[in-house]
């Protein structure tokens, strides 16, 4: 309200009369200075004052110019890496406290901050061997600000859960706790260093994105040192003007990098906005800021791949069955009716360019369908859904005519062929057979009965050998039949 960002004056012509009166009363605390600037600028100032949790929300909103408008998104864009920095002297002192060694013992120079976000800021430096690095230092007192922001979110979630029954299916309290856990992990730079190292290995396997190497001598609880990222930050207006830059290929790489990480490895960079991405011609991408990592179990990866593949092949019955199998839709609903609803969502957008799809209308339709079929928010998928929104927004900004489905198809198709094809069936059957043989062997050698009965029931060796032989023969026959089907 201080920044006229709650019900801003620009909305007044579209508000009912009684709401307009309330809006004017709510704007009284803002005063003349609080009302300066465009709505996006005022919302950005409010989020900045509210702290890191609100800034994280603003960073996601800034990727969706297609929903909130280009100017609004640009005004929020400063929240990605253009917040006011804290003094370099404090950063140097924090490095020495956290790492336990003087700055000069590791770096030949240590420059002023080149980017500042809600949690930390980055400083350029050089190692003794000449390599350029980025030193990330947490903001002073950021832990307290994050804790206050999370307390406010928890209070809001409890109020919404109690006073707004229709919102309960969105699981507001579980939503807040999932985000709280990810933010708490983000406040330990040693864990971020480990995540950066893990994701660098994962990205090297995919080839669509890469990550800078960790300089472990410069890592502490509140400090992280990485090699300098190649290319220009995507928040730089000049990044789009690099000679030879292929924006469509770059958009493809953003989408494919995310899907490769999520589907093939079950671990993905969960904060992929422009402030954490660097690009270089023709279509090279480097990611930084690994504080938030999303993780998917084998089941969630399969459901994600099958749902995407169902949309790509327009197999709405399959998508519906996967939703019911995963428990995303309560079993008392009709699979056929849900497939019909999915068709109404998919047919208008599959194969369309991004500029031909109204994301606002699509999200509204999806919200109505989830309400109609009593679908609840899944806490384990929150980071996945948040990242998908950011990734699609980044791809749209790079190329308004980008075809998200065409970009996704090679990755999803490869995963389906590898994990659900005949070879995968043969592999799974063999693994199940081996597990069965091990369990049978343990049962024969050590039956779960009392000792006197064991003496009476222990199988003769010839019978043990015969059971093992029959089981192996059955396993061999199963594997042979599967391989014949493959060939």
The sign of the dihedral angle between the CA atoms of 231, 237, 240, 244 is negative
Q: Are 390 and 272 in contact (CB under 8 A)?
A: yes
Catalytic residue among 4, 81, 252, 271: 271
Catalytic annotation present for 188? no
Q: Is residue 459 left, alpha or beta, with left meaning phi > 0 and alpha meaning psi from -120 to 50?
A: beta
Structure tokens at 398: 């790079």
Longest dimension (CA), the chain: 94
Rounded CA separation 11/43 (Å)? 14
DSSP 353-391: -GGGS-HHHHHHHHHHHHHHTTPPP-GGGHHHHHHHHHH
Q: What does the alpha-carbon distance between residue 478 and residue 481 come to, in Å, rounded to a whole number?
A: 5
CB within 8 A of 313, min separation 6: which ones? none
Q: CA angle, corner 386, sides to 339 and 148, nearest 5? A: 135
Q: Which of 337, 347, 343, 345 is nearest to 368 (CA)?
A: 345
CA dihedral over 417, 421, 422, 426, signed as positive or negative: positive
Q: Residue 231's closest CA among 248, 215, 252, 209?
A: 209
Q: Which amino acids are annotated catalytic?
A: 271
């Amino acid at each position: 309200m201080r920044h006229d960002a709650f019900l801003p004056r620009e909305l007044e012509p579209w508000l009912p009369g009684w709401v307009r009166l309330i809006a004017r009363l709510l704007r009284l605390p803002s005063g003349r200075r609080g009302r300066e600037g465009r709505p996006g600028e005022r919302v950005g100032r409010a989020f900045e004052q509210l702290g890191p949790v609100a800034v994280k929300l603003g960073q996601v909103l800034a990727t969706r110019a297609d929903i909130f408008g280009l100017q609004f998104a640009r005004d929020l864009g400063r929240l990605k890496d253009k917040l006011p920095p804290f003094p370099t002297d404090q950063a140097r002192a924090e490095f020495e406290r956290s790492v336990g060694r003087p700055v000069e013992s590791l770096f030949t120079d240590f420059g002023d901050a080149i980017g500042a976000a809600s949690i930390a800021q980055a400083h350029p430096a050089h190692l003794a061997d000449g390599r350029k690095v980025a030193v990330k230092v947490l903001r002073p007192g950021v832990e307290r600000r994050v804790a206050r922001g999370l307390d406010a979110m928890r209070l809001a979630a409890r109020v919404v859960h109690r006073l707004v029954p229709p919102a309960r299916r969105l699981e507001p309290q579980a939503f807040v706790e999932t985000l709280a856990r990810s933010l708490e992990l983000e406040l330990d730079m040693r864990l971020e260093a480990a995540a950066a190292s893990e994701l660098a290995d994962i990205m090297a396997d995919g080839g669509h994105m890469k990550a800078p190497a960790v300089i472990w001598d410069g890592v502490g609880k509140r400090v992280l040192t990485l090699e300098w990222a190649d290319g220009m930050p995507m928040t730089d207006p000049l990044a789009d003007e690099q000679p030879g830059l292929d924006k469509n290929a770059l958009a493809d790489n953003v989408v494919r990098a995310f899907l490769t990480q999520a589907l093939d490895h079950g671990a993905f960079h969960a904060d992929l906005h422009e402030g954490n991405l660097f690009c270089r011609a023709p279509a090279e991408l480097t990611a930084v800021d690994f504080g938030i990592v999303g993780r998917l179990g084998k089941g969630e990866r399969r459901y994600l791949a099958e749902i995407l593949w169902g949309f790509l092949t327009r197999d709405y019955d399959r998508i519906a069955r996967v939703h019911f199998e995963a428990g995303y839709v309560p079993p008392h609903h009709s699979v056929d009716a849900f497939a019909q609803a999915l068709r109404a969502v998919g047919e208008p957008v599959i194969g369309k360019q991004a500029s031909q799809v109204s994301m606002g209308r699509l999200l509204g339709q999806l919200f109505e369908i989830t309400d109609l079929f009593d679908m609840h928010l899944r806490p384990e998928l929150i980071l996945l859904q948040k990242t998908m929104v950011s990734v699609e927004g980044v791809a749209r900004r790079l190329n308004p005519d980008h075809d998200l489905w065409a970009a996704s198809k090679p990755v999803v198709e490869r995963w389906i062929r590898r994990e659900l094809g005949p070879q995968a069936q043969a592999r799974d059957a063999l693994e199940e057979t081996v597990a069965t043989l091990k369990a049978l062997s343990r049962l024969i050698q050590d039956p779960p009965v009392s000792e006197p009965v064991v003496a009476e029931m222990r199988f003769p060796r010839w019978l043990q050998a015969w059971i093992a032989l029959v089981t192996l023969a059955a396993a061999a026959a199963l594997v042979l039949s599967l391989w014949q089907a493959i060939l």
